[in-house]
Amino acid sequence: GKTATENTVHSKADLEGKTIGVQLGTTGDSLASNPEVIKNAKVERYNKYADAVQALKQGKVDAVIIDSDTAKEFIKKNDDIELLSEELSEEEYAICMNLDNTALQVEINTVLTEFKTDGTLDTIKEYYDGANAGENKFKADPNADTSKGKLVMATNAGFPPYEYMEGQEIVGFDVDMMTAVCQKLGYELEIDDMEFDSIIPAVQSGKADVGVAGMSVTEDRKKNVLFSTPYTNTRLEIMVRK
Amino acid sequence: MGFIDSFKQNFIEADRWKYLWDGLLTTLEITGAAVLLGLFLGFIIAIVRCTYLKTGKMKLANILCRIYLTVIRGTPVVVQLLIIYFVVFASVNISKTFVAIIAFGINSGAYVAEIVRGGIMSIDNGQIEAGRSLGLNYRQTMTYIIMPQALKTVLPALANECIVLLKETSVAGYIAIADLTKGGDIIRSQTFSPFLPLLSVAAIYLVMVMFLTFLVGKLERRLSANDRR
Amino acid sequence: MGFIDSFKQNFIEADRWKYLWDGLLTTLEITGAAVLLGLFLGFIIAIVRCTYLKTGKMKLANILCRIYLTVIRGTPVVVQLLIIYFVVFASVNISKTFVAIIAFGINSGAYVAEIVRGGIMSIDNGQIEAGRSLGLNYRQTMTYIIMPQALKTVLPALANECIVLLKETSVAGYIAIADLTKGGDIIRSQTFSPFLPLLSVAAIYLVMVMFLTFLVGKLERRLSANDRR
Amino acid sequence: MIDVKGLKKSFGEIDVLKGIDEHIEKGEKVVIIGPSGSGKSTFLRCLNLMEKPTAGEILFEGKDITKLHEKEIDRVRQRMGMVFQHFNLFPHLTIRKNITLAPVKLGLMTKEEADVKAEELLKRVGLPDKADEYPTRLSGGQKQRIAIARALAMNPEVILFDEPTSALDPEMVGEVLELMKQLADAGMTMVVVTHEMGFAREVASRVLFMADGYVMEQNTPKEFFENPQNPRLKEFLSKVLV
Amino acid sequence: MIDVKGLKKSFGEIDVLKGIDEHIEKGEKVVIIGPSGSGKSTFLRCLNLMEKPTAGEILFEGKDITKLHEKEIDRVRQRMGMVFQHFNLFPHLTIRKNITLAPVKLGLMTKEEADVKAEELLKRVGLPDKADEYPTRLSGGQKQRIAIARALAMNPEVILFDEPTSALDPEMVGEVLELMKQLADAGMTMVVVTHEMGFAREVASRVLFMADGYVMEQNTPKEFFENPQNPRLKEFLSKVLV
Ligand SMILES: Nc1ncnc2c1ncn2[C@@H]1O[C@H](COP(=O)(O)OP(=O)(O)OP(=O)(O)O)[C@@H](O)[C@H]1O
Ligand SMILES: Nc1ncnc2c1ncn2[C@@H]1O[C@H](COP(=O)(O)OP(=O)(O)OP(=O)(O)O)[C@@H](O)[C@H]1O
Ligand SMILES: [Mg+2]
Ligand SMILES: [Mg+2]
């Protein structure tokens, strides 16, 4: 019986002067907050994408700016929202670490490059996306070498399919990828869930060794953390009510 | 990074201080309006409850009030805020600030009600008897005799309730309201340095609370000086 | 969608009820440990403050306590939580639950301290004089004469402080702790139906608070019955 | 003027008044004595319906007031003054306001008329210079005289006194009794619960002895004190007249 | 036993004791009288250092106790009992515990010894069956007798009484004075502030009159009451002996 207000956003240009929901500290946040991109936008910064999407469904915001893969996950569960065909920007996800930790960067880059060429990344991704989704889940090797000790990964488990809660476990593409990376390098992976805007400070302060949370590479972030080579391409898109 | 650089980055660059300033205004707006709503609700409920306790009338209204008090005082304000935002006002496109005012006002009303009820009940029953024996009816006795005295005794406690409410509104960010706390969060998410934004948010709250506490103290001294007239 | 379907979706499917159950345990764990820490801090501070007020000793410690009280009571608990998480324990890889216990415990300590101080100060000075006149020293007088009496008077207020703390911990989600409130949020973010998860979270808090309130009432009756012995 | 017929009053299980028949003439001064807990106050409070009788009738000028509605009861009370043991002055109002509040708010006088009346009454009770003081500044005796002035301001046809001197320091009892004597001399109908036997002897037109919820004995003061019949009364008098 | 030399005590601006020289012999019963606010309590409280004198010496058995450390003061207090106007019994402890607490906690007796002593003292003050009651169950007179027993449990060499009967209902004054007489007869050194002139006459070895912070006059009770010299004393006596 509840009907939210009619959608009024049909293109990027329509965003002008509208109320836009984002997740605090994401690239969508900085894009929406940038008056050179969208004029007079009223930005509502939620702590979780899910809350922003909920607000969109209830007509409390006019649009949500969100990464495309995640958007698709939300749309799978909600038949009253959709993405506009027009995209906002192209982005790349990468793993971030402390500015001083070039050694780790080298290690991780080596493994990522290897995974890209040997198809490991694609295999992992196919479980979450594409024609064979849900088949061939990546399995951690219980006897893997952990001689180098713990590697703490800061993430924000509200970002399907990259990281989300399944029961009491944090799962997703990023988790599988990092499990593979750690096995290769000889680390024991430990996951620390936190708010998205806490990830970079955690990495900066040494609370976490890496931040892996579908984090796009941006100039601002580069000043504060070191990024690995990107492991996937993505787009920011506009989600609206149908 | 030195303190000056950090200061510049967190407050000067991109006019980031505006997040704090606008957040402060939002916090004050929500607090102020919620205080008024809370006082309004609280007084009504207190009067209903006292009328029931003293005369046995308004039985049904009293039961409703007790349910309200139990539920509001039995659940966290942040859960109340979420329920009002996502459930009560679901699919109503309403200003979030308004939602917050409603939520915090309803919450505060429960605490105000108990304060005011305590104040009314603390007034000697002989005052009601004196009023009624002169032929004033219940309402007149309440209005001219009981409430003015009760108000004076509860004023400091009500002022303290404002202070509590000011601090409570810091969870407004849960529904993406850019209040003072959220203002600090936004800066934090842009500069990735938690130290200055958090401490300055804390400092602003502290200054406001200390100032209000000072006013309450003055009020209390003024009231107790009046008692000696 | 009917209620039954919605119930199934929110609680049965994918064992989602577990989020609430585990969240409840986390909430109870944080509350319980923070209560203990708060009592510990609060009692120490109250004793320092009273010793200063009654004997003029411990001047420096008293000043430190007053600063602590002013700052903690002057800032919102969620800001304190963030500061302890991001600033105090910035580069320490420490369990978030532990951070929350520290933050809520420190917060509660300030309120406990004022309750206990009020309790101690409410004990007639003649009790101290009687103790000292018998040759007991200050510490012995406090331990055997003042504190047992003060404790009895403040017990209900302390129990109420536990209830307040239980509700306060609902903001633990701010540092991504999966407490009861967050448990509801997780379900909500998966099912996109806010109604049932939010209301059941509220109901669980309500039941706990009502139960504790019932216990406090019993305690009060027990204590006042003792007074009549 | 007042006719009490079969008046009963219980509080829950306790029967306080067990059946009282009494007739009070205009201009009479009835003094009620009796041991503590015998129901004297309750009887007085039933007369102006501050307590609702459990059974029986109270006819005030021929009309049964126990059957009246709230509003009509309020009107009856305007014609019956009451003076309390603990004065019950309104501490937040000046003496003048204490006296004028009821007549003004009830629309019986304008503010100006009431102020004139207050001045007159303050002169009558011997406190003409206290109009602008607050009650806390007065002694007990002064407070009770103001309370009497407040009752008089309504031009009542009868005044009920409930132990008006019991809460006073001994040196202040005299001034209040003196004022009550003046009222009596001026012809006011009075019902007085008191332990002041001297006052009863000197002023009363009739003295009642209450015990166990009944009026056990009544007589002119002379007969009452010199020739008591009831053994309970004899015992009571032997105690209080020491 | 106690030698007071030039004792002065001020509270802020107010000089309460302005210079007192006094000598109290072992076995003496000194009664102090004087108008309210004259510093009687303050003098008594200076004797056991509950108030720190502003100037002057107090020699207890030859030793100036005003110069002592906290710990030594505590030890002096163990030898000087004190009885208060408002009894100050410990409401959370049984009568037995009230009496035995100090001797046991101070290590002067074992619990068993103290219990025997308590039994003996309770017999002496005439309340042998109250050991297991709590103070709230006792009448004022009984409370004060227990307070005296509590002081006696420390085997003090002198007992200071500060208006021990002022807070009692008249019918209970007798029992307490009776007990104090027994103590006096048994040879206890006593300093008593009181308004009970009968007690002073009968029991005192010496009566002091304090006013304005000085001991204005002192004498044997007979001379003191029959032949007062100081005009202030004459006035005072004329008021209290009515
Ligand atoms: N509101 C009430 N509820 C219950 N019991 C009451 C109430 N008012 C009076 N009583 C009881 O009724 C009895 C008579 O009380 P009342 O005050 O009329 O006695 P009294 O003769 O005026 O005594 P006193 O001389 O002490 O004033 C007492 O036992 C009292 O406890
Ligand atoms: N702790 C204190 N601080 C300030 N002034 C005090 C204090 N104790 C006593 N005084 C003042 O010292 C004066 C003497 O007090 P004290 O109690 O010794 O008088 P007193 O002779 O015992 O009188 P009373 O018969 O009323 O007990 C009074 O004016 C009192 O107000
Ligand atoms: Mg009575
Ligand atoms: Mg004294």
The average pLDDT across B148-169 equals 94
Out of B148, B149, B229, closest to residue D134 by CB: B229
Tell whether D81 lies on the interface with B, counting CB pairs under 8 A.
Answer: yes
How long a stretch of residues is chain E? 242
Vertex B117: Cα angle to C75 and D151 (nearest 5) = 135
pLDDT, tens digit only, all 242 positions of chain E: 899 999 999 998 899 999 999 999 999 999 999 988 899 999 999 999 999 999 999 999 989 999 999 899 999 999 999 999 999 999 999 999 999 999 999 999 999 999 999 999 999 999 999 999 999 999 999 999 999 999 999 999 999 999 999 888 878 889 999 999 999 999 999 999 998 999 999 999 999 999 999 999 999 999 999 999 999 999 888 877 75
Span from the CA of E231 to the centroid of ligand 4 (angstroms): 22
Mutate to test the interface with B, among D50, D88, D111 (most CBs of B within 10 A): D88
- As a whole number, the mean pLDDT across chain B is 92
Q: Which residues line ligand 2 (CB under 6 A)?
A: E 11, 14, 16, 34, 36-42
Task: Report yes or no on B96 lying in a domain.
Answer: yes
Closest Cα to atom 13 of ligand 2: E37
Candidates E168, E195, E166, E165; CA nearest to E180 is: E165
The average pLDDT across A45-72 equals 91
Query: Which chains touch C (3+ CB pairs under 8 A)?
Result: A, B, E
Q: Point out the ligand 1 atom lying closest to the alpha carbon of residue D195.
A: 25
CA atoms within 13 A on the CB side of D230: 18
Task: With beta carbons less than 8 A apart as the criterion, state whether A115 and A121 touch.
Answer: yes
**pLDDT value at residue E55:** 94
Span from the CA of B190 to the centroid of ligand 2 (angstroms): 65
| Alpha helices by DSSP H, chain E | 40-47, 70-78, 95-105, 111-124, 140-152, 170-185, 197-203, 221-226, 231-240
pLDDT digits 0-9 by tens, B46-96: 999 999 998 888 999 999 999 999 999 999 999 999 999 989 988 777 888
SS3 C87: helix
Candidates D239, D237, D224; CA nearest to D30 is: D224
Q: Cα separation of C84 and B146, whole Å?
A: 47
SS3 A98: strand
Predicted confidence band of residue C60 (pLDDT cuts 50, 70, 90): very high
Q: Cα separation of B208 and C73, whole Å?
A: 12
Question: Per DSSP, what are the bridge partners of residue B123?
Answer: none
Task: Report yes or no on B229 lying in a domain.
Answer: no
The residues spanned by each domain of chain D are 2-241
Superfamily holding D2-241: P-loop containing nucleotide triphosphate hydrolases (3.40.50.300)
Q: Cα separation of D45 and D49, whole Å?
A: 6
Candidates D91, D178, D192; CA nearest to D141 is: D178
Q: Cα separation of C102 and C36, whole Å?
A: 10
Task: With beta carbons less than 8 A apart as the criterion, state whether D83 and D92 touch.
Answer: no
Q: Decide if pLDDT at B1 tops 70.
A: no
Which residue of D10, D16, D20 sits with most ligand 1 atoms within 8 Å of its CB, as the best mutation to test the pocket? D16
Q: Decide if pLDDT at B223 tops 90.
A: no
Task: Report yes or no on B217 lying in a domain.
Answer: yes
Candidates E140, E136, E188; CA nearest to E161 is: E188
- As a whole number, the mean pLDDT across chain A is 90
Task: Report yes or no on B185 lying in a domain.
Answer: yes
For B131, which residue in chain D has the nearest alpha carbon?
A: D102
Amino acid making up residue A7: N
Chains C and E, touching by 3 or more CB pairs within 8 angstroms: yes
Q: Decide if pLDDT at A220 tops 90.
A: no
SS3 A97: strand
Closest Cα to atom 26 of ligand 2: E36
Candidates C44, C70, C56, C43; CA nearest to C151 is: C43
Q: Cα separation of E78 and E156, whole Å?
A: 7
**pLDDT value at residue B194:** 83
Give the pTM. 0.85
Question: Is the link from the previous residue into E228 a cis peptide, with omega within 30 of 0?
Answer: no
Q: Is A206 left (phi over 0), alpha (psi -120 to 50) or beta?
A: left
Phi/psi of residue E216, nearest 5 degrees = -80, -35
E108 exposed, middle or buried (CB, 10 Å; 0-12, 13-18, 19+)? middle
Q: Decide if pLDDT at C144 tops 60.
A: yes
Q: Characterize the bridge pairing of strands A63-67 and A232-241.
A: antiparallel
Q: Decide if pLDDT at A1 tops 50.
A: no
SS3 E100: helix
Tell whether D52 lies on the interface with B, counting CB pairs under 8 A.
Answer: no
Candidates B76, B149, B141; CA nearest to B116 is: B149
Number of domains in chain B: 1
pLDDT digits 0-9 by tens, D195-235: 899 999 999 999 999 999 999 999 999 999 999 999 999 98
**pLDDT value at residue C228:** 53
**Residues spanned by the domain of B197:** 20-224
The closest ligand to the CA of D36 turns out to be: 1
pLDDT digits 0-9 by tens, A92-108: 999 999 999 999 999 99
Distance of CA D50 to the CA centre of its chain: 12
Task: Report yes or no on B43 lying in a domain.
Answer: yes
Q: Taking a contact as any Cβ pair under 8 Å apart, which residues of chain D between 114 and 153 contact chain B? A: 134, 136-137, 147, 150-151
Distance of CA B131 to the CA centre of its chain: 33
For chain A, where are the E strands, in sequence order?
19-23, 42-46, 63-67, 81-93, 96-98, 150-155, 158-159, 163-166, 169-171, 188-193, 210-211, 225-227, 232-241
Chains D and A, touching by 3 or more CB pairs within 8 angstroms: no
C198 to each of A50, C78, C184, how far by Cα in Å? 14, 20, 6
The three-state (H, E, C) secondary structure of chain D, written as one string: CEEEEEEEEEECCEEEEEEEEEEECCCCEEEEECCCCCCHHHHHHHHCCCCCCCEEEEEECCEEHHHCCHHHHHHHHHCEEEECCCCCCCCCCCHHHHHHHHHHHCCCCCHHHHHHHHHHHHHHCCCHHHCCCCHHHCCHHHHHHHHHHHHHCCCCCEEEEECCCCCCCHHHHHHHHHHHHHHHHCCCEEEEECCCHHHHHHHCCEEEEEECCEEEEEECHHHHHHCCCCHHHHHHHHHHCC
What contacts A164, CB < 8 A, 6 or more positions away? A73, A157, A158, A170, A171, A172
Span from the CA of D242 to the centroid of ligand 1 (angstroms): 25
B212 exposed, middle or buried (CB, 10 Å; 0-12, 13-18, 19+)? middle
**pLDDT value at residue B191:** 83
Closest Cα to atom 25 of ligand 1: D36
| Other residues' Cβ atoms within 10 Å of the Cβ of residue E90 | 22
Which position has the higher pLDDT, D55 or A141?
A: D55
Task: Report yes or no on B53 lying in a domain.
Answer: yes
Task: With beta carbons less than 8 A apart as the criterion, state whether C120 and C143 touch.
Answer: no
Distance of CA D196 to the CA centre of its chain: 14
What CATH number is given to the structural domain containing C216?
Answer: 1.10.3720.10
Q: Cα separation of A45 and B186, whole Å?
A: 8
Task: Report yes or no on B5 lying in a domain.
Answer: no
The percentage of residues in chain A with a pLDDT greater than 90, rounded to a whole number, is 61
The average pLDDT across C124-145 equals 95
Closest Cα to atom 17 of ligand 2: E41
Q: A with B: how many residue pairs have Cβ under 8 Å apart? A: 56
pLDDT digits 0-9 by tens, C97-122: 999 999 999 999 999 999 999 999 99
pLDDT digits 0-9 by tens, D158-176: 999 999 998 888 788 899 9
Q: Point out the ligand 2 atom lying closest to the alpha carbon of residue E42.
A: 18
Q: Point out the ligand 1 atom lying closest to the alpha carbon of residue D45.
A: 18
As a 3-state breakdown, chain C gives helix, strand, coil percent values, each rounded to 5, of 85, 0, 15
Q: CB distance B135–D154 less than 8 Å?
A: yes
Tell whether E225 lies on the interface with C, counting CB pairs under 8 A.
Answer: no
Phi/psi of residue A204, nearest 5 degrees = -60, -45
Q: Cα separation of D154 and A151, whole Å?
A: 88
The alpha carbon dihedral of D197, D200, D202, D207 has a sign of negative
Task: Report yes or no on C4 lying in a domain.
Answer: no
Q: Cα separation of C146 and C46, whole Å?
A: 13
What is the signed CA dihedral for A212, A214, A219, A224, rounded to 10 degrees? Answer: -20
- ipTM summary value: 0.83
Q: Cα separation of B142 and A182, whole Å?
A: 74
Span from the CA of D166 to the centroid of ligand 3 (angstroms): 10
Amino acid making up residue B148: P
**pLDDT value at residue A3:** 56
Q: Which string of b and e fits A136-169 if b means at least 16 CB within 10 Å? A: eebeeeeebeeeeeebbbbbbbbbbbbbbbeeee
Q: B with C: how many residue pairs have Cβ under 8 Å apart? A: 99
Task: With beta carbons less than 8 A apart as the criterion, state whether C141 and C133 touch.
Answer: no
**pLDDT value at residue A4:** 63
Task: With beta carbons less than 8 A apart as the criterion, state whether D88 and B124 touch.
Answer: yes
Give whichever of A133-142, C82-91, C185-194, E71-80 has the largest mean pLDDT. Answer: E71-80
The average pLDDT across C182-201 equals 89
Tell whether A207 lies on the interface with C, counting CB pairs under 8 A.
Answer: yes
Q: Cα separation of A34 and A32, whole Å?
A: 5
Candidates B65, B47, B52, B58; CA nearest to B151 is: B47
The average pLDDT across B144-172 equals 94
pLDDT digits 0-9 by tens, C26-40: 999 999 999 999 999
Q: Which residues of C touch A80 (CB under 8 A)?
A: none
Q: Cα separation of D142 and B39, whole Å?
A: 38
Phi/psi of residue D223, nearest 5 degrees = -60, -45
